[in-house]
Structure 1
Amino acid sequence: MKGGDDVKIKWHGHACFSLISSEGTRVLTDPFDDHVGYELPRVEADVVTISHDHFDHCYLTPQLGHPEIVRNPGTTVFRDVRITGVESYHDNNGGKTRGNNVMFSFKIDDLQIAHLGDLGHPLGPEHVLALGHPQVLLIPVGGTYTIDWQEATKVVETLEPRIVIPMHYKTEALSFPLDTVDNFLQDKVRARREMYSTIEISPNSLPEEREIVVLSYI
């Protein structure tokens, strides 16, 4: 999956990804602190998106430099990246249990990427409309604090992305009581586990049929 205008997507663990445009604009999603279990991302960023203010999604370190922080619904344009925040909830109780959650839709190099943060409920028509037609979907699958693997499967079927990258699930590094990615992968025809943490994607390199790609955090 390589081409001239690739977007680089690197998983740092949990819900934290680096999204890097072909022009070098660096977006970091949901950075975590050192209580989570993963090694802290040692990267600089131009933009940091924060889905909600929990310690495992909003930890800002000097290492990041002086990025623009995006944490609210609405649209922001930074250089060659367009970011749209979509309001949702961290639970299935209208936010009364765990508060709000902001999903983000990124337009980078003509590639539409959606990061659902800690989504805790099924998507409504208004969410689907606001997210548009993501070609790449970064989705929580571990349950407990988010949608579980069954609900995640329904979200995938609703949004119809070409590439699905699961996140926010139990690994050997993570200290939280989440489900592993295994249940989400069951009965999925085109799913693969990769040995690397980075994937490069362009609109021209998208698979014809949907693929689930499990990235490594190492």
Structure 2
Amino acid sequence: MKIKWFGHSCFLITAGNGVRVLTDPFDETVGYKVPKVAADIVSTSHEHFDHSYTQAVQGDFFHVNKVGAFSHKGIEMVGVATFHDEENGAQRGKNTIYKFIVDRMHICHCGDLGHVLTSEQIKDIGHVDILLLPVGGSYNGPTIGPDQAVEVARLLNPSVIIPMHFNTDVIKFPLAGVESFFKKMGGGQYIGKQEVEFDKKSLLGLSASVMAFEYA
């Protein structure tokens, strides 16, 4: 399985058999190059413009934007209801966390999570191997920053954490940089790659290993 980061909260997850999952595509106002790629499955955690620009996706795809359990082309997925803020959605609305099972690995994409997870939400998400986690805080409203991101990471206890939704040279929102999350996690590294290949064996022995990807 390969994971490729296009910037912000947008990743392309490609299974060993070629099935492609695209998460939270964004439009041109975000600052990154808009990922105009083909996908078999597209997930959108909420309807804000920087997480739901499905117009950029090429070809026919299965759109996942609801809570519940789904399956498409051999990819099992579950959507867990959360919020974009700490006030049960009163400020920024709802957010859906999606977990995908790809090549026997459990990949959890947190979208614009705005609060620390409850015990029930943790139970609904279940086991996590790779966690795609917002760490940069908020612009024009609450999204978890470094402190809460560390707490969420420890609650879900993944093998690998891939930070997302943080400040870079091109993004047009005032977010914290990933270095703050590194410091609070007690470590982390820029891996200098946009895409990384994982298999179940490569995750053995890893515990909350933080890998910051490069964007296109």
- Normalising by structure 2, we get a TM-score of 0.95
State the partner residue of 1:3: none
Q: CA deviation at 1:32?
A: 0.1
**Alpha-carbon distance between aligned partners in 1 of 2:169 and 2:75, rounded to the nearest angstrom:** 33
- The counterpart of 1:40, out of the listed 14, 34, 57, is 34
Q: CA deviation at 1:123?
A: 0.3
Correspondences of 1:5-16 after superposition (within 5 Å): 7-16=1-10
Stretches of structure 2 lacking an aligned partner (at least 5 in a row):
none
Letter in 1 for 2:50: D
State the partner residue of 2:189: 192
Q: Percent of counterpart pairs with the same letter?
A: 39
Tell whether the 8 Å contact from 2:150 to 2:184 is kept in structure 1 after alignment: no
Q: 1:63 to 1:29 in 2, by over 3 A?
A: closer
- Normalising by structure 1, we get a TM-score of 0.94
Tell whether the 8 Å contact from 2:36 to 2:56 is kept in structure 1 after alignment: no
Q: CA deviation at 1:63?
A: 4.5
Tell whether the 8 Å contact from 2:14 to 2:21 is kept in structure 1 after alignment: yes
Letter in 1 for 2:211: V
- The counterpart of 1:205, out of the listed 166, 190, 202, is 202
Correspondences of 1:156-175 after superposition (within 5 Å): 156-175=153-172
State the partner residue of 2:214: 216
What SS class does the counterpart of residue 28 from structure 2 fall into?
coil
Q: CA deviation at 1:79?
A: 1.2
What root-mean-square deviation, in Å, do the aligned CA atoms of Structure 1 and Structure 2 show? 1.1
**Alpha-carbon distance between aligned partners in 2 of 1:72 and 1:203, rounded to the nearest angstrom:** 28
Q: Moved runs in structure 1, 4+ residues, more than 3 A?
A: 187-190
State the partner residue of 1:4: none
- The counterpart of 2:114, out of the listed 120, 126, 133, is 120
Pair 1:29 & 2:23 matched: yes
**Alpha-carbon distance between aligned partners in 2 of 1:164 and 1:172, rounded to the nearest angstrom:** 22
Pair 1:72 & 2:66 matched: yes
Q: 1:122 to 1:10 in 2, by over 3 A?
A: same
Stretches of structure 1 lacking an aligned partner (at least 5 in a row):
1-6
Q: CA deviation at 1:74?
A: 0.4
What SS class does the counterpart of residue 30 from structure 2 fall into?
coil
Q: CA deviation at 1:198?
A: 0.6
Letter in 2 for 1:20: T
